[in-house]
A and B are shown apart, each in its own frame.
Chain A
Amino acid sequence: MAGNAPNQHQSKFAGYLAEIVELSPIRTGIYGEVRQVLCKVLEGPDSGRAIKRNIAGKLKVHDKVRLNETTREAKQIKSR
């Protein structure tokens, strides 16, 4: 893990940049408005890691998103 030290991250904005690598066909949420994606972290202590996240809103591959924290990996939202 050749990531930057957390102190080096000095941005005006909160969170860390990440790039969307892959869109999975899974749509979750009550109305199917949330999408599960695989994204690669570009900034912060976890940079270089690929994590699964739940993202709401219009998307395409190679879009950049901001994540508040990069340690958590999102599960699929299931409604029984």
Chain B
Amino acid sequence: MAENESMNSQEKKPKRAAKKQIQEAQAEDTKQNAAENTEAQAEPAKEKKQAKAKKEARQASNSGAALFGKYPYSEVNVEDESLAAYINLSPKSYPMNFGRRNKVNFYETTNIIERFMSKLMRGGTGRKIGGKVIRTEGRLQGKKLKIMKVVEKAFEIVNKQTEQNPIQVFVDALEFAAPIEDTTRVRYGGIAYNVAVDLSSVRRLNIALKNLALAAITGAFKSRKSLADALANEIMLAAKNDANSYVIKKRIESERMARSAR
């Protein structure tokens, strides 16, 4: 029995040793794994840092980007505080988002020049404006590059005649074209009344952009003026708050209606 015990003890010893070795090996493995893990964790962090640095560099290089390579955004300042939040002047030389921002919550915060170009891509009105029914049969729809060239030409004309940054002139025009008040219809027992309401800044900008685009199209319709000429003319008139401009007339009309309906 004693021999057996001794044998057992002899056998046990190497077993223990083996166990120890295995444990040590496992510990080393875990250490290595941990080290690998930290390396693995460090790699994406590094990638993130690099991506961040790249993005910053891109933004820094873009911050000097000028519209059509000519007109810098940095000079422009928006005086109306209520519209300033929604007049986006992010520096893009050829502003196109290819429909990527269409499902963003506040789509109205896209580049203002791009928004205007999108509004210009339209057909006629289908109803009378100044005695004319305008139907352009949708020949501008979907043609953003064509419109971009029109806007570039119009901005060239504005720059020549006013010797200012055309983006600044355009922003001034928008500020004067945006109405403060409007009316809505309410029915009391079959009779419709107009009630005055205030307008949010998003709505004001939308109306201003729409009217400016419409004025350009009506100005060029059945006349010798090109679309670019008509657009440049309208922008310059509106920036001076001139009552001959279509957009200023519209603003004054809507505000007058609202004042009488208070």
Contact = CB atoms under 8 A, between A and B. Distances in A.
Interface in A63-80: 63-68, 72, 74, 77, 79-80
Interface string A35-77: 0000000000000000001111111100111111000101001
B199 interface: yes
Contacts of A13: 79-80, 175
Contacts of A30: 184-187
Interface string B164-196: 000000000001000011101111110000010
A57 B184 contact: no
Contacts of B81: 17, 64
Question: Is the contact region of chain A dominated by helix, strand, or loop, or is it mixed?
Answer: loop
A78 B65 CA distance: 51
Nearest to A72: B262
A35 B197 CA distance: 9
Given A17-B81, A17-B82, A72-B262, A65 B199 contact: yes
A47 to B, nearest CB: 14
Contact of A77 (B181, B195, B200): B195
Given A29-B186, A72-B262, A57 B204 contact: yes
Interface residues of B, number: 31
A56 B184 contact: yes
Given A58-B202, A64-B85, A12 B180 contact: no
16 contacts: A12-B80, A15-B180, A53-B198, A56-B198, A57-B203, A57-B206, A59-B202, A64-B85, A66-B80, A66-B82, A68-B181, A68-B259, A77-B184, A79-B187, A79-B188, A80-B189
A53 B198 CA distance: 7
Interface residues of A, number: 28
A24 B187 CA distance: 23
B199 A56 contact: yes
Contacts of B258: 68
Contacts of A57: 199-204, 206
A33 interface: yes
B187 A55 contact: no
Contacts of A74: 197
Contacts of B201: 57, 63-65
Interface string B243-262: 00000000000010011001
B204 to A, nearest CB: 7
B214 to A, nearest CB: 19
B189 A54 contact: no
B198 A12 contact: no
A64 B106 CA distance: 15
Interface string B77-90: 00111100100000
Given A58-B203, A68-B181, 16 more contacts: A12-B175, A17-B81, A29-B186, A30-B184, A30-B186, A53-B198, A55-B197, A56-B197, A56-B198, A57-B204, A58-B108, A58-B200, A59-B200, A59-B202, A64-B201, A79-B187
